[in-house]
């Protein structure tokens, strides 16, 4: 079987507090990419449990990410939307890839170091192996492109290394099984646009994150208009007016961040924003940003709430998506077993 021409895969963890960074860096781009392409969007619940999750919260968060996908405009009929744990191929392929990836490669992963912190001995084995499960997600569908935020770049590079080593190690049986040009593709990350790394509203040197203790550091997708307005008004800035050129944002991380957010929300570039607001005070710029953010995000939060009131419909979407994902995944697992020499009846 030849690899498909173009297949998009991406995932979001159901760990609560979906925020503007997840939207601009990932989900909004999933929506833009869906036109005319085969897209698979996954709620990666097996990744979430690499860190402790209360079971009731996990269930709610799986449905919440699904609701966010749909509220943002992903069509679950035209694309495949499902949660990872319903397709056993993810865990199966992850095991095979754990045997391909090298300890040294995983030891270099900066996200593990950040998440494990000082108490590494107490981190779960799953947290360490997290990137091989991510490689399995992508390679299970032999995806060619993966839209993500900047923070996932290293994991995507690892995915290519794993795919390359698998293709090399098993080159003979891959060819014997009729696959020309290797089995797994060299997946391309899609990291583009003005908001690939949205920063905290309270500290321009820190990434906007689900786990930041301060809720004012992020705009949540579920926030209402009042919360959005308050958070934007409270966002940290500096005393200078906005510059007219990109160059003038250097060394001004908070200004750079707000301009990037404005650009991404208005489907423009930072240059466009500076052309309109160069010389303006932050008070005026923030008022315009509040208006834009409420206009773009308000309906998403409302629609998420409406969808969350009917969990059975969300579960039906996930179940249908999982059925369709399994068709592709099962074929890959069969191929991989044949390639590596596992007997199947
Ligand atoms: P997660 O759940 O942390 O984040 C989901 C997506 O949001 C992006 N993102 C950001 N983008 C811009 N600015 C930010 N501050 C910001 N914070 C998060 C992330 O880059 C991501 O695209 N490991 C992944 C989930 C995953 C995955 C995959 C992704 C598992 N398997 C396979 C792609 C393909 C993660 O933790 O994302």
CATH value at residue 51 = 3.40.50.620
Has 207 been annotated as catalytic? yes
One of 59, 165, 210, 337 is an active-site residue; which one?
Answer: 210
Has 28 been annotated as catalytic? no
Using most ligand atoms within 8 A of CB, pick from 114, 146, 148, 195 the residue to mutate for ligand 1. 148
Query: What is the number of structural domains in the chain?
Result: 2
**Looking at the structure, do residues 322 and 285 belong to the same domain, yes or no?**
no
Tokens 């039906």 found at = 316
Tokens of 48: 């979430």
Model pLDDT, residue 2: 44
Give residue 283 CA to ligand 1 midpoint distance, Å: 31
**Looking at the structure, do residues 179 and 292 belong to the same domain, yes or no?**
no
Assigned domain for 206 exists: no
**Looking at the structure, do residues 176 and 279 belong to the same domain, yes or no?**
no
Assigned domain for 61 exists: yes
Atom index in ligand 1 nearest the CA of residue 148 equals 22
Using most ligand atoms within 8 A of CB, pick from 46, 152, 219 the residue to mutate for ligand 1. 152
One of 115, 153, 165, 337 is an active-site residue; which one?
Answer: 115
Give residue 183 CA to ligand 1 midpoint distance, Å: 26
Region at 146 (left for phi over 0; alpha for psi -120 to 50; beta for the rest): beta
The 3-state secondary structure of the chain reads CCCCCCEEEEEECCCCCCEHHHHHHHHHHHHHHCCCCEEEEEECHHHHCCCCCCHHHHHHHHHHHHHHHHHHCCCCCCCEEEEHHHCCHHHHHHHHHHCCCCHHHHHCCHHHHHHHCCCHHHCCHHHHHHHHHHHHHHHHCCCCEEECCHHHHHHHHHHHHHHHHHHHHCHHHHHHCCCCCCCCCCCEEECCCCCCCCECCCCCCCECCCCCCCHHHCCECCCCHHHHHHHHHHCCCCCCCCCCCHHHHCCCHHHHHHHHHHHHHCCCCHHHHHHHHCCCCHHHHHHHHHHHHHHHHHHHHHHHHHHHCCHHHHHHHHHHHHHHHHHHHHHHHHHHHHHHCCCCC
Give residue 213 CA to ligand 1 midpoint distance, Å: 19
User: Domain range holding 239?
Assistant: 215-306
**Looking at the structure, do residues 302 and 316 belong to the same domain, yes or no?**
no
Q: Which CATH number do you get for residue 293?
A: 1.10.240.10
**Looking at the structure, do residues 86 and 107 belong to the same domain, yes or no?**
yes
**Looking at the structure, do residues 182 and 317 belong to the same domain, yes or no?**
yes
**Looking at the structure, do residues 149 and 233 belong to the same domain, yes or no?**
no
One of 28, 207, 231, 270 is an active-site residue; which one?
Answer: 207
Block means of pLDDT (10 residues each) for the chain, 345 residues, are: 74 97 98 94 98 98 98 98 98 98 98 94 97 98 98 98 98 96 97 96 96 96 96 96 97 97 98 97 98 97 97 98 98 98 93
Has 59 been annotated as catalytic? no
pTM (two decimals): 0.97
Model pLDDT, residue 3: 46
Atom index in ligand 1 nearest the CA of residue 134 equals 31
Assigned domain for 208 exists: no
**Looking at the structure, do residues 93 and 234 belong to the same domain, yes or no?**
no
**Looking at the structure, do residues 158 and 247 belong to the same domain, yes or no?**
no
**Looking at the structure, do residues 120 and 84 belong to the same domain, yes or no?**
yes
Assigned domain for 228 exists: yes
**Looking at the structure, do residues 39 and 182 belong to the same domain, yes or no?**
yes
Give residue 149 CA to ligand 1 midpoint distance, Å: 6
- Lining ligand 1 with CB less than 6 A are 9-13, 21-22, 25-26, 44, 47, 134, 137-138, 146, 148-149, 151-152, 155, 196-198, 207-208
**Looking at the structure, do residues 50 and 158 belong to the same domain, yes or no?**
yes
Main-chain phi, psi angles of 8, to 5 degrees: -95, 135
């Amino acid at each position: 079987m030849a690899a498909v021409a173009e297949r998009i895969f991406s995932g979001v963890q159901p760990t609560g507090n979906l925020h503007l960074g997840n939207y601009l860096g990932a989900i909004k781009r999933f929506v833009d990419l869906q036109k005319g392409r085969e897209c698979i969007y996954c709620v990666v619940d097996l990744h979430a449990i690499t860190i402790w999750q209360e079971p009731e919260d996990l269930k709610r968060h799986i449905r919440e990410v699904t609701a966010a996908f749909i509220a943002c405009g992903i069509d679950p009929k035209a694309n495949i939307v499902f949660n990872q744990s319903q397709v056993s191929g993810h865990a199966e392929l992850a095991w095979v890839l754990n045997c391909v990836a090298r300890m040294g490669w995983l030891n270099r992963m900066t996200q593990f170091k950040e998440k494990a912190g000082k108490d590494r001995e107490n981190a779960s084995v799953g947290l360490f192996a997290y990137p091989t499960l991510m490689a399995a997600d992508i390679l299970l569908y032999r995806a060619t492109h993966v839209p993500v935020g900047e923070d996932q770049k290293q994991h995507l590079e690892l995915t290519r290394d794993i795919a390359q080593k698998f293709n090399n190690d098993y080159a003979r049986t891959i060819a014997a099984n009729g696959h020309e040009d290797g089995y797994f593709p060299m997946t391309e990350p899609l990291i583009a646009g003005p908001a690939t790394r949205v920063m905290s509203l309270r500290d321009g040197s820190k990434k906007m994150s689900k786990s930041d203790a301060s809720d004012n550091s992020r705009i949540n997708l579920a926030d209402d208009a009042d919360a959005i307005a308050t958070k934007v008004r409270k966002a940290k800035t500096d005393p200078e007016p906005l510059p007219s050129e990109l160059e003038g944002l250097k060394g001004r991380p908070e200004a750079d961040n707000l301009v990037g957010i404005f650009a991404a929300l208005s489907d423009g570039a930072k240059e466009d924003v500076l052309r309109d607001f160069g010389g303006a005070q932050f008070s005026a710029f923030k008022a315009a940003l509040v208006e834009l953010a409420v206009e773009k995000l308000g309906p998403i939060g409302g629609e998420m709430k409406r969808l969350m009131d009917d969990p059975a419909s969300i579960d039906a979407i996930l179940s249908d998506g999982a059925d369709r994902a399994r068709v592709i995944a099962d074929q890959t697992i069969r191929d991989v077993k044949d390639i590596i020499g596992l007997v199947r009846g």
